[in-house]
Amino acid sequence: MYAPRAMPVRHRLLPDGHIVVTGAAGDFAFFDSDEFDRFRTFPHRLDLRKQADLRARFLLTDGAMSRGMQRLLASRIAAKRETVTAGPSLHIIVPTLQCAHSCQYCQVSRSLDDNGHTMSLSDLNAACDTILESKSNQLTVEFQGGDPLLRFDLVKHAILRIREGAAANRRIRFVVASTLHQLDDAMCAFFKEHSVYMSTSLDGPRALHNANRPTPGRNAYERTLAGIQLAREKIGADAVAALMTTTKASLAFPEAIVDEYVRQGFREIFLRPLSSYGFAKRNQNLLGYSVQDFLNFYRRGLDRVMYWNQRGLELREVYASILLNKMLSTFDAGYVDLQSPTGAGSSVLVYNYDGFVYPSDEARMLAETGDRSLRMGRIGESLNELFNSPVRQQLVEASDVRFMSDCLDCAYNLYCSPNPVDAQAQHGTMNVAAGTTEHCQRHTALFDAIFSTLRTADEDTSALLHEWAQVRETCANA
């Protein structure tokens, strides 16, 4: 009879003094310091129930692993990588940069003039045809801007072309990201007919939203709410989702922001940090804040979300759901920024108004300030050509945790990934030590916080967190 022994694992000391241990397939367990010492040296001295639990999690074994268990472990690891290997499933079309807003944190230049800021019809047709080359059975086609509704004619044309060219059994989900200020009954009728979802920005209560997202009439908040109401009435009650962006002005109001989402009838909120890309990077003195500032804001916001759930109101925090999906689910929802190798250029492609294809929305934002190093190719090139482009190969090499020194021994190795696009934006190169990037520091702290929450969760909270971990499309496309 073989004595139990610990399998190869990674571990991390959490801020609360406990230790989290993670295995090859992403299973994990918590230990106090004494238990952890026994686990590493004399695992047979652990409580028998603890030993059984660790075996089930591929953290403890009795001798050599059987061939069947080896296949099961390999299959579970492969399932975690499936969204990257399945091909591009998220395709973003940027038909125009036109927008009436002048948001302080906007990452791109914007203009009311469509001259030079709008995609040509030939490029739009070519982008649609490239999208249909994707082998993925489920596609999401998202229209970004600017504000795509200012060129509804192009959005409508693209949706019809993709619908006509797609196989009858292919599942295609369309999303239009807009302020909704231009939304009208005719647009709603078309969107309803083609099952199009709307996504908008709501940064919080009136004063905060209007400060972050100024318009000439200073009534951005009222017009956004009117657009949300129209979409719900004409397209469907669940046809519109909202996203917020955390600026320096937001940091003092996490509870008020969460309460605003509750007041407006939303059942999800994404407590999303500011992205320092493109033109937003120039406003860092006005808008920026530290990782710790965001973490403090996030914890308070998450506590407020829990407050509402404890009172019987269903409200999901999307960032936590993304991390919990990584930690608790066998199947990865495919959040682009935490894929290894990166989902940028592999599971997502962006067809920009300028006639070029980029690996992510953030990469095309960099191009607006002159850094065009992440262009994968021209619109009209085949998926095979885009996938074999030098840019995509560089992205893959700069985000494979198997070869990144800062990631090799990290307990969150299977949940996370370096973000080469973020590194390019912050440091001017993709090849930097992951631990020096804001992306790594923020997600390490967030995983710490979520693991600590899981460890101390009561039965009801644990059930809620496991429910949040279930695969949902908003996780994949957030």
- Inside any domain, residue 465: no
Same domain? 132 vs 95: yes
pLDDT score at 62: 81
Q: Which domain holds residue 245?
A: 87-386
Distance from C-alpha of 95 to C-alpha of 119, rounded to nearest angstrom: 5
Same domain? 25 vs 133: no
Same domain? 37 vs 110: no
**Cβ 414 vs Cβ 25: under 8 Å:** yes
pLDDT score at 72: 72
Q: Which residue has the higher pLDDT, 115 or 463?
A: 463
Domain boundary among 386, 408, 429: 386
Same domain? 219 vs 357: yes
DSSP 8-class letter at 274: P
pLDDT score at 279: 46
pLDDT band of 425, cuts 50, 70, 90 = confident
pLDDT score at 104: 62
- Inside any domain, residue 431: no
Mean local confidence (pLDDT), 144-149: 93
Domain boundary among 15, 44, 59: 59
Residue with tokens 């044309």: 157
Per-residue pLDDT reduced to its tens digit, 157-208: 999 999 999 987 889 999 999 999 999 999 999 999 999 999 999 999 999 9
The number of residues making up the chain comes to 478
Mean local confidence (pLDDT), 43-68: 85
Percent of the chain, pLDDT > 70?
Answer: 88
DSSP 8-class letter at 96: B
Same domain? 118 vs 205: yes
Same domain? 217 vs 360: yes
pLDDT score at 474: 45
Mean local confidence (pLDDT), 255-283: 84
User: Domain of 182: which CATH number?
Assistant: 3.20.20.70
Same domain? 105 vs 35: no
Same domain? 52 vs 125: no
Same domain? 114 vs 238: yes
Domain count, the chain: 2
Domain boundary among 341, 370, 386: 386
Q: Closest Cα partner for 475 from 170, 268, 244?
A: 268
3-class state of residue 242 by DSSP:
strand
Q: What is the mean pLDDT of the chain?
A: 89
Same domain? 36 vs 183: no
Same domain? 147 vs 40: no
pTM (two decimals): 0.91
323 phi, psi to nearest 5 deg: -70, -40
Mean local confidence (pLDDT), 60-83: 70
Q: Is pLDDT at 81 greater than 90 in this prediction?
A: no
Per-residue pLDDT reduced to its tens digit, 341-361: 999 999 999 999 999 999 999
Q: Is pLDDT at 214 greater than 60 in this prediction?
A: yes
Same domain? 13 vs 115: no
pLDDT score at 478: 41
